[in-house]
Amino acid sequence: MTLNKPSIDSSKASRLITRRVLLAVFLGILVGSFLSFFKTDIDPQTIDLVVRGLKALTDLFLRLIKLLIGPLVLATLTVGVGQMGSGAAVGRIGLRAMTWFISASLLSLCLGMLLVNLLHPGTALHLPLPDAATSIKGAAESLSFEIFLEHLVPASITDALAHNEILQIVVFSVLFGLAGGAIGAPAKPVFMLLESLALVMFRLTSMIMMMAPVAVFSAIASVIAVQGIGILGTYGLLMIEFYCGLFILWSVLILIGRLLMGVSVKHLLGLIKDPMLLAFGTASSEAAYPLLLRQLEVFGCRERVVGMVLPLGYSFNLDGSMMYMTFATLFIAEAYGIDMPLSDQWVMLLMLLITSKGVAGVPRASLLVISATLTHFQIPEAGLLLILGIDPLLDMGRSATNVLGNSLAAAVIDHHEPTSDDL
């Protein structure tokens, strides 16, 4: 049972959408600059009508994105947990894999949170809160860890799906996956159904992402029309800071690999160079899966180890995406002037650690988790559009990082696995 099956066609579609999004960014800058420059010469009502029309397109895209969250997390996380199976060797490899995944995720999340708190990339935007966000701002102030825990367990999975209660869906999915994996063959039809649901949701994601260029154009044009062209300097700084963070994360992961594997990590890096470049070029770690699997076997990793660790890693170990989630969420909060105390940031980190464990490495899948996090913390969902325009460029870096992290995980676990076992 394998959930993730990349294809050449999906890679081509991903590159096509990326090119169109970049074109939309350029056109959005031109149109927004034109509206901003000539807004004193144009009827204010006309400008307002144009801006509201542009925002309506972005709002439609946001609703479509939210449509995906519940079913996608339910299907991918349940199947991912169910894939662990049973047996002493499977349990041993699974435990080691999950220990690595959780540790690497915490490292990535903490690094993203640390960078935002040190650099404050969003404070220069000074964006006004949307009316809807202003009306619910008080709810965010009452958020506490106790309330967070109370909302972990769903009273009904249908109610959790209906209201997109992401944490409740995660709890149900993990328990359901564990139960299904424990009974084995009788649960196979259920997992096959959920796998089909996941594949349908991935296809629906691809369909909805076709609208991304329109949403990006309207988002950038409306923001620049209101804020002026000077806002672009903040985005350039954001990209520089994020890629510096990725470089730090790469260095730490490679250092850990060196400590656990010795000098062979250098040979591994040479072999996974092409999969990382493929993931960078397509902005999808999924597209690099077949080549990465082959290169790990060339490195000497056993098929039985890689065959278990790598699929799990593509759902549970997205290091670049994890760092991006805390980085982007706190950036959006800063852009709207929303103060998140350190206690709330740690709650957010715990939430992201859990909710991200069912998101596959498809292009821009991180946006689904960020959207759910923004909703939970009463941060305006419109903030997602602040990063959507440059997200393809950021996605390239984090996709390559995901490939690096999963490669190191598989190689380290294989290095410490006995040469003969009962798997």
In this prediction, residue 32 carries a pLDDT of: 83
- pLDDT at position 376 over 90: no
CATH of the domain at 249: 1.10.3860
Of 63-72, 107-116, 173-182, 245-254, the poorest mean pLDDT is in 63-72
In this prediction, residue 134 carries a pLDDT of: 39
The pTM of the full predicted model, rounded to 2 decimals, is: 0.62
pLDDT, tens only, 57-112: 877 876 776 777 678 778 876 776 676 555 555 567 778 888 888 898 899 999 98
- Determine the residue type at 314: Y
Residue 253: pLDDT band with limits 50, 70, 90: very high
Mean predicted confidence (pLDDT) in 160-178: 76
Rounded percentage of the chain residues whose pLDDT exceeds 90: 6
Top pLDDT among 202 and 31 is at 31
**Does residue 422 lie in a domain region?**
no
Residue 131: pLDDT band with limits 50, 70, 90: low
**Does residue 408 lie in a domain region?**
yes
In this prediction, residue 348 carries a pLDDT of: 85
Average pLDDT, the chain: 76
Q: Which two tokens stand for residue 309?
A: 């660790």
- pLDDT at position 5 over 50: no
In this prediction, residue 85 carries a pLDDT of: 53
Q: Which two tokens stand for residue 254?
A: 């490679």
**Does residue 279 lie in a domain region?**
yes
**Does residue 420 lie in a domain region?**
no
**Does residue 1 lie in a domain region?**
no
**Does residue 219 lie in a domain region?**
yes
Measured between alpha carbons, how far is 269 from 356 in angstroms, rounded to an integer?
Answer: 26
Cα separation values, 241 from 126, 328, 349, 364, 365, Å: 19, 12, 20, 19, 21
Q: Which two tokens stand for residue 151?
A: 């909302």
Mean predicted confidence (pLDDT) in 218-229: 76
Cα separation values, 38 from 41, 228, 299, 405, Å: 5, 11, 60, 48
In this prediction, residue 172 carries a pLDDT of: 84
Measured between alpha carbons, how far is 287 from 10 in angstroms, rounded to an integer?
Answer: 8
Domain residue limits at 118: 8-415
Q: How many domains is the chain built from?
A: 1
Question: Three-state SS across the chain?
Answer: CCCCCCCHHHHHHHHHHHHHHHHHHHHHHHHHHHHHHCCCCCCHHHHHHHHHHHHHHHHHHHHHHHHHHHHHHHHHHHHHHHCCCCCHHHHHHHHHHHHHHHHHHHHHHHHHHHHHHHHCCCCCCCCCCCHHHHHCHHHHHCCCHHHHHHCCCCCCHHHHHHCCCHHHHHHHHHHHHHHHHHHCHHHHHHHHHHHHHHHHHHHHHHHHHCCHHHHHHHHHHHHHHHHCHHHHHHHHHHHHHHHHHHHHHHHHHHHHHHHHHCCHHHHHHHHCHHHHHHHHHHCCCHHHHHHHHHHHHHHCCCHHHHHHHHHHHHHHCCHHHHHHHHHHHHHHHHHCCCCCCHHHHHHHHHHHHHHHHHCCCCCCCHHHHHHHHHHHCCCCHHHHHHHHCCHHHHHHHHHHHHHHHHHHHHHHHHHCCCCCCCC
Residue 404: pLDDT band with limits 50, 70, 90: very high
Q: Is 310 exposed, middle or buried (0-12, 13-18, 19+ CB in 10 A)?
A: buried
Q: Which two tokens stand for residue 5?
A: 């099956």
**Does residue 334 lie in a domain region?**
yes
**Does residue 421 lie in a domain region?**
no
